[in-house]
Amino acid sequence: MRLHLTHPSLLVELGRLLRGRGYAFISVTPATHRRVNRRPENAWAQDLRGVFGWSRSYRDGVLPPEIDALLVDAGLRDETDQAGGHGHRARVRASTVGRRLYFHSAWPTDDADAVFFGPDTYRYLAALRRALASDLIRRPVRRAVDIGGGAGPGAIELALCCPGATVYSTDINDDALALTAINAELNGATQVIPCRSNLLDGVDGHFDLIMSNPPYILDAHELPYRHGGGEHGAELSIRIVKAGLARLHPGGSLLLYTGVAIVDGQDRFLDAVRPMLDEACEEWRYEELDPDIFGGQLDCEGYEQVERIAAVWLHAVKRG
């Protein structure tokens, strides 16, 4: 379901009110979210975190009046009926990373145009901060792009770390682009530019830094925010490496966080991109950040030969 964010300034105001009240929420995996919300005591939201973090229905009087009014005026409050009576439900969620607050789609994210935010986002941002402080950043970051930026956390984090950079956040999802603009304003990242683009076809020129946290799951429903295509979900990540290396300035960095299927001990993604990296890069580093994520996916069709899914990080420097 499209969010239809026709009043973005109201969502910015809502974010400031939440932050002023000390709101904080760490987004968990969908499986954890489902388990926690199934507990009987969590049938109804009792506070801001229940409404905007756990996406629970809430009764009148739970939200401060000014916050509830903003949801209504922004067209982001739905009516619900469940055991216990009639209530309301916010159509957006708000997650925090340190002092920053990001709006994204409400749980569950079952729609094709959902804008996802979860544990991968936190790993991505942590890896990005480490990379920016490393010796592999060989040239000043003046022009950068986050491919498939979603709600914009990667682009916003980069922009705040590199205040002299213009940072494009690209996506094929209009809701993602609208949320990026809202989140950028809310977090003071004025140099972030949302841009509709498939890979890099919507932006021209070359970049000092290209980054991405793409979908990497082989999803039966082919939800855009989850489905990475063939090669057990690695197809999109492989395409990003190829496109990114072609559009980097000499000495520029390609940063990629993705998940890879390990089959009989072999990393098929690394096998596919290694020749490209060896040919185009003066140096590249590759590491497993987490050896075993999304274990439940191994029960799904297409994963019969996969023994684990690993979260990996690639930092490649374009040869001069």
Torsion (CA) 271, 273, 274, 279 in degrees, nearest 10? 150
**What's the confidence (pLDDT) of residue 226?**
85
* Mean pLDDT calculated for residue range 74-81: 96
pTM of the model as a whole = 0.96
Q: How many residues does the chain have?
A: 320
Please state, rounded to an integer, the average pLDDT across all residues of the chain.
96
**Separation in Å, CA 122 to CA 34, 51, 102, 259:** 19, 21, 12, 14
pLDDT at 1 over 70: no
What is the per-residue pLDDT across 36-53, written as a single tens digit (0 to 9) for each? 999 999 999 999 999 999
On whether the 119-318 domain is CATH 3.40.50.150, my answer is: yes
What are 313's strand-pairing partners?
257, 287
High-pLDDT (> 70) share of the chain, %: 100
Helix runs in the chain, H state only: 8-20, 30-37, 48-52, 65-73, 119-132, 153-161, 174-186, 230-233, 235-246, 268-280
Cα 170 to the chain's mean position, in Å? 12
**Which residues of the chain does CATH 3.40.50.150 include?**
119-318
Torsion (CA) 177, 18, 30, 127 in degrees, nearest 10? 70
CA–CA separation, 216 and 203 (whole Å): 23
